[in-house]
Amino acid sequence: MDVEFTLNGQSFRCPTGCTVAAALFLLGRRTMRLSARDGTARSLFCGMGICYDCVMRIDGQSNVRACQTVVQPGMKVEVQQGEGELGDDA
């Protein structure tokens, strides 16, 4: 069964149980955040939650590790700009 989510406002589907990082790779997408220093694209590096290169804005919360977050139905995923912004729960 597939799960529907949005990436930067566009709807996509991925297999149930995929992490956000895996779903993006299945879609051929690699950019997860843009660096604060010079805006270069960053992506998955360690794949196990240690390096934080894959942080994204997910459901209004910045700095969520895409490699550790399983896609949920209706999840809103956005490429993070730099260090991100405070989320709804701040």
Q: How far is CA 27 from CA 13, 39, 72, in A?
A: 9, 22, 16
Burial class (CB in 10 A: 0-12, 13-18, 19+), 17: exposed
Within the chain, residue ranges assigned H as helices are 20-26
Which has the closest alpha carbon to 86: 60, 59, 53?
60
CATH code for residues 2-80: 3.10.20.440
Does the structure show a pLDDT above 90 at 76?
Answer: yes
Tell me the pLDDT tens digit for each residue of 42-69: 998 998 989 889 999 999 999 999 999 9
In the chain, where the domains are located: 2-80
| Cα–Cα distance, 2 to 50 (Å, whole number) | 28
Greatest alpha-carbon pair distance for the chain in Å reads 40
Q: Which residues pair with 26 in a beta bridge?
A: none
Is residue 57 within 8 Å of 78, Cβ to Cβ?
yes
pTM, 2 dp: 0.88
